[in-house]
């Protein structure tokens, strides 16, 4: 019985860490004046996106389906 409880806690922690790791970061800057995401975020950009973005071929119009401006950022 005790072991079962520990197992549940262990699995819960792993799931939580994975969710935090793979949660898309919010956008810390304006998106209104920076619509061309890929010019700064492709693999050679100032702040490169993860390489799996390139593998999936994400383009400027795809980014904001997952990434949203951080609260307090005026569009
Ligand atoms: C002019 C260059 C530029 C453009 C265009 C741009 N960004 Fe950024 N972005 C940056 C820089 C530089 C950072 C680094 C963090 C900062 O600004 O404090 C950043 C940070 C980010 C981050 C946070 C990454 C992290 O690890 O927390 C995300 C997400 C992001 N941008 C998404 C976007 C999206 C989506 C677009 C298009 C709507 C976009 N960016 C357009 C320059 C740009
Ligand atoms: C299907 C959802 C999805 C789409 C679409 C998407 N991203 Fe991401 N992005 C994520 C996730 C999840 C992470 C964090 C996990 C990781 O780093 O692999 C991430 C991480 C990032 C980071 C942070 C990289 C770092 O090293 O800190 C940047 C910058 C970024 N994305 C930019 C973009 C840009 C620009 C686009 C559009 C061309 C885009 N993303 C499209 C889900 C997405």
Per-residue pLDDT of the chain (75 residues; tens, 9 = 90+): 688 999 999 999 999 999 998 899 999 999 988 999 999 999 999 999 999 999 999 999 999 999 999 988 876
C-alpha pair distances (Å), 2 with each of 12, 15, 16, 33, 75: 16, 21, 22, 56, 51
Ligand 1 pocket test: which of 26, 32, 34, 74 has the largest number of ligand atoms within 8 Å of its C-beta?
Answer: 34
Look at residue 75 in the predicted model and tell me its pLDDT. 62
Ligand nearest to the CA of 70: 1
pTM summary value:
0.89
> What is the distance in A from the centroid of ligand 1 to the CA of 8?
38
**In the block, residue with structure tokens 């390489």:** 51
Helix, strand, or coil (residue 68): coil
Ligand 1 pocket test: which of 33, 41, 45 has the largest number of ligand atoms within 8 Å of its C-beta?
Answer: 41
Domains of the chain, by residue range, sit at: 24-70
DSSP 9-63: HHHHHHHHHHHHHHSPPPB-S-SSS---HHHHHSTTSSSPPPHHHHHHT--TTTH
Helix, strand, or coil (residue 3): helix
Look at residue 73 in the predicted model and tell me its pLDDT. 80
Look at residue 1 in the predicted model and tell me its pLDDT. 65
């Amino acid at each position: 019985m005790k072991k079962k409880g520990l197992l549940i806690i262990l699995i819960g922690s792993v799931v939580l860490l994975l969710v935090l790791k793979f949660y898309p970061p919010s956008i810390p800057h304006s998106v209104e004046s920076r619509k061309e995401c890929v010019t700064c975020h492709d693999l050679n950009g100032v702040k490169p996106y993860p390489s799996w973005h390139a593998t999936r071929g994400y383009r400027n119009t795809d980014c904001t389906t997952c990434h949203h401006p951080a609260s307090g950022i005026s569009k």
